[in-house]
Amino acid sequence: MKQNEFTFIDLFSGIGGFKMALSNNGGECINYSEINKDAISAYCENHNESIDNNLGDITKIKELATHDFLTAGVPCQSWSIAGKNLGFDDDRGQLWNDTIYLLKQSQPKAFIFENVKGLVDPRNKQAFSYILDRIKQAGYYAKHYIVNSYDYGVPQNRIRVYIVGFKEKKYLDSFKLPKPYENGIKLADILGLKLTETKEESIVQRDLFGNPVLPKQMSLSSKNGFNDYFLFNDLRNGHTTIHSWDIIETTEREKEICLLLLKNRRKSQFGKLDGNPLSLKHFQALNPAITKSELTKLVELDILKEEEYQFRINDFDESELTDNELELLTIQLGTNIIVDDLKAQRGLKIKKISIKDTIESLKEKHIIECTEIRYDFKNTKISSGLFGVNRVFLPTSDVFPTLVASDTNDYVSLTNLKKENHSDYKKEFLDKVYFSDNYRKITKEEACVIQGFPKDFKLPESRARWMKLIGNSVSVSVIDMLARTIIETGVFEIEKIKYETLTKLVGISSYIEDNKVQNF
């Protein structure tokens, strides 16, 4: 073995993001662990790896072979803010225990563990501290780093947590993340476009001091006062936000009512959640001229929806109730059920009790009856967007959003737009891109490059299958950066004196072997 070569084992290997990066940096894969059939097939085919080296289900692995470097992209759904955020209350969260058990058993020189940013969310503070303590008890010095893939070579806004650890503290002390890369590839490069107009050439609105006037909204890329994507959403507002009332034919009066709901639904006086439906009484307190028929018309247009918000609890016999019904009624205090209060109950999430289904069954038994109707936007799931579209990115964008296993409603357009002012910019987008159907989803080849894989990386033909694989993978460019930085600490180098001695011994052994017959 040369001085900087090392062996590694690849847990939760997926399609081989760790494998590709570590192999490119002198690593030799001894074993990998994966249970998904598509991932195993892609791993073996693309990396010329034997299926015999697959250790399979990590929960059934008792020990690992001797190796230098352990990697693991531990399943992240338990910690995802986009999910139910159940942590160790989810079986998938328990896989951290299996991972750290194998780390302690095998004692490699270094490791990298990857997970979603939600792992270090304040709500998971206790669980994350437990993970770090277990790593310390296993005999390792470790630190965690929050890294965006966009900063290290790919045009993807993918923020992940990487825990890097060493057996010896001196190597952790010398480990330092490099500065973000400059002049990385952009979305236009992925799409194979050469833009004739740069962002700096666009007309920019400026304030009295000459500074660009930036839109006050969520933005993945806005360097000149204009966003490079359009957001389809009824819960946010901004210069490049497309609402359902921009798409559906509505009157100015109907648009005003929608904007009134948008402006007020997040105020605490209307409920405890970040966004709350409003009753007719609430609407009329804001604008006395609003009528029930106007709200009903917006419901008929599929812009608003009616929600049964509050219920009165009637007398009941516990023997009539299912376990889920009894759980829901005992959680709710008082003589009324408020749906938003139930949504905040963690216990219902852990026990996987459907609030909607349980409410319906209680209504059928006449145990509860609705006492308050409220109105909210029909489309309230931000990631779903409107009518199958969440965001449309223009080729001038530096970055594309996070690729996820379930795919997204994010699209790209190959059409570049002028940016004279925000009003015309939005109108031009609707006319030339949205209503003209000049947008599409990214292709398999583009998704591979966005994750740092080669364009010709072999994956299943089915979009759902290849999206699941690529969305669950690590970004190869980030692992490449981490691997090189770990190697530069010298953790895998053989001590100079030992290396020189070994070289001499190998030379002597070869000499004896070559002269054995003559001496005999």
pLDDT tier at 121 (50, 70, 90 boundaries)?
Answer: confident
The larger pLDDT score, comparing residue 105 to residue 339, is at 105
Q: What are the two backbone dihedrals, phi and then psi, of residue 126, each rounded to the nearest 5 degrees?
A: -65, -45
pLDDT above 70: residue 388: yes
Q: DSSP per residue over 250-276, as a string?
A: --HHHHHHHHHHHHHTTSGGG-SSSS-
CB burial string 274-313: b at 16+ within 10 A, e below: ebbbbbbebbeeeeeebeeebbebbeebebbeebbbbbee
pLDDT tier at 318 (50, 70, 90 boundaries)?
Answer: confident
Residue 519's pLDDT is 43
The answer to whether 9 and 106 are in contact (CB under 8 A) is: yes
Distance of CA 266 to the CA centre of its chain: 25
Among 84-93, 420-429, 488-497, name the one with the lowest average pLDDT.
84-93
Looking at residues 57-61, what average pLDDT do you find? 94
Looking at residues 56-67, what average pLDDT do you find? 95
Helix/strand/coil for 391: strand
The residue among 451, 468, 362, 487 whose CA lies nearest residue 20 is 451
Which distant-in-sequence residues (6+ apart) come within 8 Å of 16 by Cβ?
Answer: 10, 32, 42, 43, 46, 47, 49
What's the pLDDT tens digit per position in 433-464?
A: 999 999 999 999 999 999 999 999 999 999 99
Task: Tell me 375's DSSP state.
Answer: E
Q: What is the mean pLDDT of the chain?
A: 87
Looking at residues 256-269, what average pLDDT do you find? 95
pLDDT tier at 468 (50, 70, 90 boundaries)?
Answer: very high
Model-level pTM?
0.80
What's the pLDDT tens digit per position in 370-379?
A: 999 999 999 9
Instruction: Report percent pLDDT > 70 for the chain.
Output: 85
Among 126-135, 303-312, 493-502, name the one with the lowest average pLDDT.
493-502
Residue 184's pLDDT is 80
Residue 430's pLDDT is 97
The larger pLDDT score, comparing residue 438 to residue 398, is at 438
Amino acid type, 416: N
Q: How far apart are the first and last CA of the chain?
A: 32
- Annotation says 76 is catalytic: yes
pLDDT tier at 507 (50, 70, 90 boundaries)?
Answer: low
What's the pLDDT tens digit per position in 328-341?
A: 888 766 788 888 88
Q: From CA 213, how far away is CA 191, in angstroms rounded?
A: 29
Residue 502's pLDDT is 55
Q: DSSP per residue over 88-148, as a string?
A: GGSGGGGHHHHHHHHHHHH--SEEEEEEEGGGGSGGGHHHHHHHHHHHHHTT-EEEEEEEE
Residue 398's pLDDT is 87
Residue 124's pLDDT is 82
Which distant-in-sequence residues (6+ apart) come within 8 Å of 326 by Cβ?
Answer: 318
Q: From CA 512, how far away is CA 504, in angstroms rounded?
A: 12
Which residue among 76, 258, 370, 448 is the active-site one?
76
What's the pLDDT tens digit per position in 175-200?
A: 999 999 987 888 999 999 877 554 44
Which distant-in-sequence residues (6+ apart) come within 8 Å of 348 by Cβ?
Answer: 327, 328, 331, 342, 355
Fold of the domain spanning 6-184+454-494: Rossmann fold (3.40.50)
